[in-house]
Amino acid sequence: MNKNNEVEPRIQHIAIHFIEKEQNKGKVKKKDLAKDLDNPTSEGVTNFIEGFCKTRADINRSIAYASFLEELESKYRYDIRPIKDMIIEYEAGKKTDKDFLNLSIEIAERYIRCLETTRLSTGDHMIVFDYIDQNNKPMFGITLLGQEFSSYVEGHKLKTSLALNLKQMTLAAIIDLDRWLNPKEGDPANYISFICGTKDLSEYYREGFIGCEKISRSSKATSDFMTAAELLAKDKLNLTQNEWENIRDKAASHMHENKQEVIVLHLLNIMFPNPNDQAEFYKIADENNLLISASFKPNQTAMKRWEKLVYNKNGIKIEASQDRIDDGTVTYEDGRLIILDPEGAIAREYENFRRQENE
């Protein structure tokens, strides 16, 4: 275990299926479902789970959070039961290799039913696996990987092989089993995270296949949270600019420290510890059609409006919020930093300083 109390992620069971479907056609052209499980300790599997966890932790990856629907729409009630029911039965059983193989096949068959309802998808390699992540938590993963041909050298010959590339990940769903099946007080309701890769998180995948509620991508979830917080601070609580910036800076720092996932309740406790203010936060969000998730992955682009320009060298220290840069209060032109001072506050501070210096 390293200094951050992280462990090496390890696969417990893994099954690989291949499903091929021609675009704009209804029926699946080919399916090659696994007849046995892959070796969870093989080099290929070990490299896969390490790469997968790194991909999931990548701050530039778009991640969305969700939970299972209690009941699916009628159009998604196939002759194969929902994934939620499959996993509940598996987790309650002995969890043998055979049990996992059968579970993975049933998941693949549901995906096939889902594919046959759309004319857009072309199919993928599906990898179904359960694993212990770097935080020693049990997880369940379903990922779709596109295939590509890669070249390699053998002796003095150039050869080609078929490869699966995590960078070409189509989509992935990761279920936090403890948060779902054994929730603790204070745990967010969203226990499924989606890595959005080369395909958008369409309804047929989200609800038809996985069986999840409507979700928000990390960029929108981050932006909506920030907007609701700004409206509460400025319009309802009437905080001064300095008071708001102090609160905002604490929140931004917390989000930077928790790049993988921020729990909204924890963030609200930092910014607005008063329960009445938190209730007002949700009311504002509802009135302005802002989607507030129980947790979200902070989006770096969306967070820029809460960040600061900081310069502290050669006896000069300058801090400017994104707001003051956006509204033109602070600009930089031709080697000069220009700070607008319409009320003369900076000028008065400067004159006071010079006066004290000369006394």
Average pLDDT of the chain to the nearest whole number: 82
The least confident of 75-84, 317-326, 335-344 is 317-326
Q: What pLDDT does residue 276 have?
A: 92
Residue 49 carries which side chain, given as an amino acid letter? I
Supply 359's token pair: 């006394």
SS3 for 76? helix
**239 and 351 within one domain:** no
Give CA–CA dist 299/64, Å, rounded: 11
**236 and 175 within one domain:** no
5 lies in some domain: no
Nearest CA-CA partner of 138 in 103, 174, 176, 172: 176
**166 and 96 within one domain:** yes
The least confident of 137-146, 205-214, 315-324 is 315-324
Q: How far is CA 291 from CA 63, 188, 190, 212, 217, in A?
A: 15, 15, 13, 16, 10
The least confident of 37-46, 48-57, 221-230 is 48-57
141 lies in some domain: yes
Q: Any alpha helices (H) in the chain, and if so which ranges?
A: 43-57, 83-92, 97-115, 177-181, 203, 218-231, 241-257, 264-271, 275-287, 300-303, 322-326, 345-358
| Domain enclosing residue 352, as ranges | 308-358
**204 and 263 within one domain:** no
Give CA–CA dist 208/82, Å, rounded: 9
Q: What pLDDT does residue 334 have?
A: 79
Q: How far is CA 234 from CA 237, 252, 281, 304, 319, in A?
A: 6, 17, 12, 19, 21
SS3 for 189? coil
Give CA–CA dist 23/28, Å, rounded: 10
Q: What pLDDT does residue 130 have?
A: 97
**186 and 108 within one domain:** yes
For β-strands 62-66 and 295-296, DSSP reports them as unpaired
- pLDDT over 70 at 211, yes or no: yes
> How many folded domains does the chain comprise?
3
Q: Which of 215, 232, 251 is the last residue of a domain?
A: 215
**199 and 105 within one domain:** yes
252 lies in some domain: yes
Q: What pLDDT does residue 205 have?
A: 81
The per-residue pLDDT for range 93-142, each reduced to its tens digit, is: 999 999 999 999 999 999 988 888 776 566 678 999 999 998 899 999 99
Q: How far is CA 36 from CA 32, 103, 162, in A?
A: 12, 12, 21
Mean pLDDT of 282-307: 81
**236 and 134 within one domain:** no
SS3 for 312? strand
- pLDDT over 60 at 2, yes or no: no
**188 and 55 within one domain:** yes
**202 and 164 within one domain:** yes
**313 and 287 within one domain:** no
Q: Which residue has the higher pLDDT, 289 or 37?
A: 37
What pTM, to 2 d.p., does this model score?
0.67
Q: Which of 194, 215, 236 is the last residue of a domain?
A: 215
2 lies in some domain: no
- Rounded to the nearest 10°, the torsion over CA 123, 128, 132, 135 is 20
Nearest CA-CA partner of 223 in 293, 319, 323: 293
pLDDT band, very low/low/confident/very high, at 71 (cuts 50, 70, 90): confident
- pLDDT over 90 at 25, yes or no: no
DSSP assignment letter at 297: P
Give CA–CA dist 342/357, Å, rounded: 25
SS3 for 64? strand
Q: What pLDDT does residue 227 have?
A: 93
Please give the backbone phi and psi of residue 187, each rounded to the nearest 5 degrees, phi first.
Answer: -65, 140
| SS3 of 319-336 | EEEHHHHHCCCEEEECCE
Q: Which of 259, 278, 304 is the last residue of a domain?
A: 304
SS3 for 174? strand
3 lies in some domain: no
345 lies in some domain: yes
Q: What pLDDT does residue 106 have?
A: 97
**247 and 119 within one domain:** no
Nearest CA-CA partner of 6 in 278, 196, 260, 336: 260
**203 and 252 within one domain:** no
Give CA–CA dist 276/278, Å, rounded: 5
Q: Which residue has the higher pLDDT, 14 or 72?
A: 14
